[in-house]
Chain A
Amino acid sequence: MRSELRKMTYLPTLRWTAATVLAAVLVAAAAVALIGVGEDDLAPVFGLATPTWIASIVIGVWLVGLEYGQKTMRRTLSRNPDRLRLVVTKAALGVFAAALLTVLATAVAVPLLTLASAGHELKITASEVLRVGLGSLVSNVVVVVIALSLALVTRSMAGGMAVALGFFFVIDTILAEIPVVGKYMFSAVSAEVFGQLSGDRFSDRYTDGIEGVGLALAAGLTLMWAAVFLAAGTARFVRSDVE
C-alpha cells in the first residue's frame, strides 16, 4: 500500500489531472459569471460532473496502465507477488483518489458557481451544486473501478484508455438504447443513480429517454456492473503471465 501511495504522490499524473479538473471548474464559473447559467443548466454538469467523471476514467486506467507503460509490472510483482492484493490495493486507492478529487472539486465549485450566478436572474444554489457533487461522487467511485478493470484486461495504458473511453462514450451509450434490456445497462442505471442524487433540476438531462428502474435497483445494478468488470479484469490479470 505504501509503495502504491508513493507512486501516486511522486508521479505528476494525478496532480495534473486535479489541476485540469479545477481549471474546468474555474472556466465554468467564469462562463456563468459572464453569460449566466442559461436555460440548459449546463454549468454544474460541464464544470463539475463531466470533468470529475473523465478524471476518474483517467485515474483508473493510469493506476494499472502506468505499470505496463513503464514496464514496471514485473518489478512490482517481483516484490509483492500477491496479484489479488495488488488489484485490491490499486482499486482502493483509485476509489480514494476519485472520491478525494470529486470532493475537492465540489468544495471549489459550490462557492464559485453560486457566486458567479448571483448577478443573474437564473441562479444556482449551493445545495444544488452539492447534490451534483454527491451524484458525481457515487458515479465516479464506480467509474474508476471499471476503468481500472478495463486496463487490467487490455494490460496497456493506451489500450486501457482507448477501450475505457470507447466503452463509456460510445458502446455503453448504444447498449442503453437496446429495447427492453437497455435500461439495465451500466450507462442507463448509473445515469439514473446520478440523476436521482443530483436533484430534479438535473435529473431530466441524465435520464432523458431512459426508462428508469428505480433508485434502489439502479444502484444495485451499478454496483453489479462494477463487480462484473472488476472480476473480469482480476481474472485476466491473475491468470496471465507477466511479460
Chain B
Amino acid sequence: MTALATFDNLTKQYESGLVVDRLSFAVPEGQVCGLLGPNGAGKTTAIRALLGLVRPSGGSTTLLGRAPGEAGFDASLRRVGTLIEGPALYGRATAQQNLLIEAAALGISNARAEIADLLGLVGLSDRADTRCGSFSLGMKQRLGLAMALVGRPRLVVLDEPTNGLDPAGIVEMRQLIGRLPERGTTVLVSSHLLSEIQLLCHRAVILQRGRLIAEGTIGELLGGDGTATYAASVDPSQADPARDILRRAGFSAHGKGDGVIEVSGGIETGMAVSQALAEEGIHVRELKRLDADLEQVFLRLTNGLNGNDPGDRSTEGDVPEEVLDAV
C-alpha cells in the first residue's frame, strides 16, 4: 500500500526541550490514520514538520513522496488539505469568500460549483454569504474542513478537528471525516481524545512526550480478535428499525432499551455502524466501544502516568502482547 506521508526518525528540539523524538511511521493511502496522544505529546509539531512549517532538528518527513524543500514539494502540498490547530479563517470574509481564497491559492479559477458542493457537504450551504467571524466554533471547524477539501486533495491532515466542539458537533465532525475515504481522500487526524478517534480510525499511532509508544490497526492496539462490541444510541422510536438495519448489514444487534443497541461482529471502525444507520436516515446520537478502548491501552502503556518516560520499557510489563507486537 502506498504511503502518502512518512516520518523517518523525525526529531524536533526547541530551546525549551525535546518535542518530537525520533518519530517514525507512515500513513497508508485510503485509510484514516490517527495520531494520538495527550496535550504536549508532539502531535502538532510533527504535523507542522510534515507540512514544512517547522524545520526538523533531525530526521525527515515526506509528503506524497517529497520532502520539504525538495523539488516538487510545492506540487505535493497542493494535493494535501490541512486543518491545523483550529480553522484558520479570515473572519471578515464570508464562508464562500474564504473558500474562493483557498481555491485561488491552489490555482483553481472556476471553483464555484466545487465550493457549493463542499458547503453542502459540511452543512453550511445556507450560510455561504455570512461572514465567518460570526460563526460558532462548530461551524468554523466545519468550514475549516471544507477549506481543507478544496481541490479534492489526496490527503487531508487534520489537527485536533474536534477541539472545542460540543458532543453533537463531535459526532457530526466524526461522520464528515469518516466519509472522506469514500471520496478517495486519505486522512491523518490528530487528537488527544483517544476513545473518540478510536471510532474513526483504521489505524493509529500513539505518542507520548514526542516518542512513539504504540502503532497499529485499532484491532491490533486493542489486542482483540478482529471483533468488536459497540453501544449505539438512537432515538428510542427508531431503535427497532435501527436494530433490523444493523442485522441486515451483517452485524449482531440487540436492543437494550432507551434507544441503545448493542452491536457486535467484525466491525473495522465505529464509523461502519453509524454509516449503516445514516444511509437509512437514522442519526446515531452516541457511539461507544464497550469491549475495550484506546484510553485503557494508553494508560496501561504509560502505567497511568503521563509523566512516565515512554522510553522506559520496564513499564511495558502490563501491556498486552498484541500491543507490543504492534509497536
Contact = CB atoms under 8 A, between A and B. Distances in A.
B90 A78 contact: no
Nearest to B96: A10
Given A79-B106, A81-B68, A11 B90 contact: yes
A13 B80 CA distance: 30
A73 to B, nearest CB: 8
Interface string B70-84: 000110011010101
Interface stretch (A1-9, A39-47, A153-161, A183-191): A1-9
Contacts of B116: none
Contacts of A13: 92
Interface stretch (B51-59, B163-171, B180-188, B231-239): B51-59
B105 A241 contact: no
B73 A81 contact: yes
Contact of B89 (A6, A70, A79): A70
A241 B52 CA distance: 9
Given A72-B90, A241-B55, A242-B53, A6 B77 contact: no
Contacts of A74: 48, 51, 53, 82, 84-85, 88
Interface residues of B, number: 33
Contacts of A241: 48, 53-55
Contact of B92 (A6, A11, A75, A76): A11
A102 B73 CA distance: 40
Nearest to A81: B52
B12 to A, nearest CB: 9
Contact of A71 (B54, B86, B104, B107): B86
A77 interface: yes
B-side interface mostly: loop
A81 B105 CA distance: 11
Interface residues of A, number: 24
A78 B53 contact: yes
A82 B88 contact: no
Nearest to A71: B88
Contact of B82 (A6, A11, A12, A75): A75
B9 interface: no
B54 A2 contact: no
B127 to A, nearest CB: 16
B101 interface: yes
A80 B105 contact: yes
B306 interface: no
B244 interface: no
B84 A79 contact: no
Contacts of A81: 51-52, 68, 73-74, 77
B102 interface: yes
Nearest to B54: A241
A70 B91 contact: yes
B102 A79 contact: yes
A74 B82 CA distance: 9
A78 B76 CA distance: 10
Contacts of B73: 81
Contacts of B105: 2-3, 76, 79-80
Contacts of A79: 77-78, 102, 105-106
Interface in A5-64: 5-7, 10-13
Among A70, A74, A77, residue most surrounded by chain B Cβ atoms (within 10 Å): A74
A77 B54 CA distance: 11
A7 B77 CA distance: 21
A28 to B, nearest CB: 29
B145 interface: no
B176 interface: no
A11 B90 CA distance: 8
9 contacts: A5-B104, A10-B94, A71-B86, A74-B88, A75-B84, A78-B52, A79-B78, A79-B106, A81-B74
Interface of A: 2-3, 5-7, 10-13, 66, 70-72, 74-82, 241-242
